Chains A and B, each alone.
Chain A
Amino acid sequence: GDSRSSARTSADLVAYKNVNDLPPPRDLMIQIDQKNEAVILPIYGSMVPFHVATVRTVSSQSDTNRNCYIRIIFNVPGTPFNPHDANSLKYQGAIYLKEVSFRSKDPRHISEVVQQIKTLRRQVMARESERAERAT
């Protein structure tokens, strides 16, 4: 049911209204803000929020050097099973952030992050598809 729920999702969901609504800056690491449904990424010393509805998939892997990697893929138009048409029509000419990947020193933190993103995303998607069904 992901495809049906995407009609509204990221186009209208907003993570934060004000700069100071972001959680207090902590360590420079990926954070999940459940309340605001945001994934917050450390990019160049800044914490950059993305609404979880913009996330398409998240995965992690580790190498033999005890490094751990996390890859977050975002929704972009034209992806199979994820028609973003309302969105891409509304924002023609936009460029999309498609993917980010991070290396982490803390595998446990990364596996927590992956789980949290997946759970939060599922909750938000379920809620949004319910809302869409009620609306019709």
Chain B
Amino acid sequence: MTDGHLFNNISLGGRGGTNPGQLKIYSGGILWKKQSGGKAVDVDKDDIVSVTWMKVPRTSQLGIRVKDGLYYKFTGFRDQDVTSLTTFFQNTCGITPEEKQLSVSGRNWGEVDLNGNMLTFMVGQKQAFEVSLADVSQTQLQGKNDVILEFHVDDTTGANEKDSLMEVSFHIPNSNTQFVGDENRP
């Protein structure tokens, strides 16, 4: 096996926005390093649980879910990278990447999916956005139908974004049957 693929302009996305860096995908796994040094993500091949592709504006996003429930999102791939990496993941890890679609309709109603640490708001079977429950500092039930998620805030919050998400709330009408009396409510 040759030494895999190296990408120079791949951003890691998350709570605080995105960080540009360098991503290496090789036979042993995945290694991402922040451009300015510092933060690194190192995933062993055997810890990868699933791989997803999603087309986002003007580029593609790679989602890597690992065994401990964490989920990494890398953005900045060209179409030809998607093709070659799909083959790579199939051959090296025996994982076939799934395709996800991004919702851009602008609707505010849909479904909430919980998977590992991630809460995904789905609109018309497509993903509108995802948040990590690991970053939620507090959840509150307001009235009978509203759930509020508050996010951790510290000095580094929003280090590289101008506007930082603080709070999200969902309204779950009585007609919803997904989360009735379920301790897993979002």
Contacts and interface: CB of A to CB of B under 8 A. Distances in A.
Contact of A104 (B17, B55, B162, B171): B162
A25 interface: yes
A70 B163 contact: yes
Contacts of B184: none
B128 A48 contact: yes
B132 A22 contact: no
Interface residues of A, number: 58
Interface string B120-131: 010000001111
A52 B171 CA distance: 18
Interface of A: 10, 13-25, 27-30, 38, 41-51, 54, 69-70, 74-78, 87-88, 91-106, 109-110
B167 A16 contact: no
Nearest to A68: B163
Contacts of B132: 44
Contacts of B17: 28, 42, 45
Interface in B111-166: 111-112, 121, 128-132, 146, 148, 153, 157-158, 160-166
- Main secondary structure on A side of the interface with B: mixed
A13 B106 contact: yes
A16 B129 contact: no
Contacts of A99: 148, 167-169
A94 B57 CA distance: 26
Contact of A95 (B104, B105, B111, B162): B111
A20 B165 contact: no
Interface range, B side = 35 or more
B57 A97 contact: no
Interface string B167-186: 11111110111110000001
A74 B108 contact: yes
Nearest to A43: B129
Contact of B161 (A14, A23, A38, A42): A42
Nearest to A49: B106
Contacts of B66: none
Contact of B106 (A44, A54, A94, A104): A54
A97 B15 contact: no
A98 B171 contact: yes
Nearest to B17: A28
* Residue in A20, A45, A50 whose Cβ sees the most chain B Cβ within 10 Å: A45
B40 interface: no
